Amino acid sequence: MIITWLIRTGAVCLLRDAELSLKVILPTVFVALGLIALVQVISFTIGKIVHVMLMVGFYTDSAPVPPRPIEPGGSRIKISPKSLRRIGWVIAGVACFTGVASGAIFLETRNINRTIAITAHRGSSLKAPENTLSAIRQAISDGADYAEIDVQTTADGIVVLMHDADFMRIASVNRRIDEATYEELKEIDVGSWFAPEFSSERIATLEEAMDIARGLIKLNIELKYNRSDPELAGKVARIVQKEEFSSECVVTSLSYLPLIETKGMLPDVKTGLIVAGAVGEVYRVDTNFLSVNAARATSGLVGEAHRHGKTVHVWTVNDVGNALSMIEVGADNIITDDPALLRNLLDTWNDLSDSEKIALMLRNLFIVEGLPVPDEL
């Protein structure tokens, strides 16, 4: 067990940094598998020898009865070389069939030629202040398919883009969003904390975000419940209806009931439950997709979600190694702070042949979990 663990650990260290290099991945996988198989054969052989020696010692100590000699004319069961060859071919055929069937199931569950979408987390928040119109414009420029935005309501009921409950982190202003009107909040600079050139950035409304995104990028609208707000889902649904934006957005939330309310008002809009941790059979919920913490997005969970007719979004993935792991376990949408990096990676991935993609997926024989826990969505 210790030797096998050491081999796997060494393979994982090499595979994590291999990115798209087949020259590293294939030798590492095959050598590691060969060493593990060799260790298992040796340990099995040693175990059998020890077992036989123990049994012989037991019978010796128990005064065993001498074996009865075979009488003249007695018969032995003999297997001809031809029969042995037939048995060997049958075993080889069963092994071959099992391998082919397993490979077919593997390819079917992975769907290697699927289209993988990119979502810019709070807009392109690596290059622009989060949840701003500039971040949405940057997401469009970076080639993202979606811009994820957080929405909540002001004291006078206006739906605005904001992640936190107050402005301390992004503006050093001790003002809660639910205790001020939209006109009051418009005076707060929400861009300078990121860089001086964004000093003119102000809090944006959902309608303004839709105007920027329309026809250029879809919006992932997260219903943010920093406080109890029974009107939020309904207000967002009415804005989507008014702006005729149903085909250009999805709605997500950590809370399930608002998604049910949204679906009742907007049956054509896709909804997604945000899953931060392991909470049971989440793929059974009545939503179109799951938005899963990347540290929890195993091939098993993704496969079950797909079997239940759901796609899987994963968050928040900001480096090539983790992104490749998410592609290889079957994720349909990758949420990232750096959509330009992911767009370059996906373009490279899509240029690979099917056999190269399958070869790259072999690393998941070793790297099945252990991604660092990402930031909150």
pLDDT number for residue 126: 96
- Specify whether 229 is located in the same domain as 103: no
Task: Based on the fold, state whether residues 106 and 225 are members of the same structural domain.
Answer: no
Residues 35, 162 within the same domain: no
Let me know whether 5 and 140 are in one domain.
Answer: no
Contact status, residue 316 vs residue 377, Cβ threshold 8 Å: yes
Residues 196 and 285 in one domain: yes
Place of tokens 């060494």: 10
DSSP assignment of 245-259: -GGGEEEEES-HHHH
Same domain? 256 vs 191? yes
Average pLDDT over residues 175-188: 96
Q: How far apart are CA 249 and CA 268, in angstroms?
A: 10
Residue 370 has pLDDT above 50, yes or no: no
Residue 270 lies inside a defined structural domain of this protein: yes
**pLDDT tens sequence across 103-129:** 555 555 556 778 899 999 999 999 999
Evaluate if residue 132 carries a pLDDT over 50.
yes
Report the pLDDT value the prediction gives residue 315, as an integer from 0 to 100.
96
Average pLDDT over residues 20-29: 77
Chain segment 242-252, per-residue pLDDT in tens:
999 999 999 99
pLDDT at residue 302 tops 80: yes
Concatenating the DSSP letter of every residue in 33-80 gives: HHHHHHHHHHHHHHHHHHHHHHHHHHHHHT-PPPPPPPPTT-------
Distance CA 115, CA 117 (A): 6
Same domain as 105, residue 123: no
Same-domain status, 29 and 124: no
Residue 183 located in a structural domain: yes
Segment 203-216 shows an average pLDDT of 98
Here the CATH number for the domain that contains residue 175 is 3.20.20.190
Q: pLDDT tens digits for 29-86? A: 888 888 888 888 888 888 888 888 888 887 777 755 566 665 565 555 667 777 777 7
213 and 310 housed in the same domain: yes
204 lies in some domain: yes
Q: Evaluate whether 159 touches 224 at the Cβ level (below 8 Å).
A: no
Mean pLDDT throughout 346-365? 79
Note the pLDDT of residue 107.
52
Q: Does residue 73 form part of some domain?
A: no
Residue 375 lies in a domain: no
Does 126 fall in a domain? yes
pLDDT of the residue at 29: 80
Does 179 lie in the same domain as 87? Answer: no
Give the end-to-end CA distance of the chain in Å, rounded to a whole number. Answer: 38
**Contact of 291 with 313, CB cutoff 8 Å:** yes
Amino acid at residue number 311: T
Q: 71 in a domain, yes or no?
A: no
My answer on whether 156 and 295 are in the same domain is yes
Cis upstream peptide for 316 (omega within 30°): yes
Whether residue 172 is predicted with pLDDT greater than 70 in this model: the reply is yes
Query: Is the per-residue pLDDT at 17 higher than 80?
Result: no
User: In sequence order, what are the residues at sequence separation of 6 or more whose Cβ sits closer than 8 angstroms to the Cβ of residue 138?
Assistant: 120, 123, 124, 127, 128
CA distance 295 to 315: 9
If asked whether residues 103 and 129 sit together in one domain, one would say no
Residue span of the structural domain in which 217 resides: 117-365
The domain tally of the chain equals 3
Residue 247 inside a domain? The answer is: yes
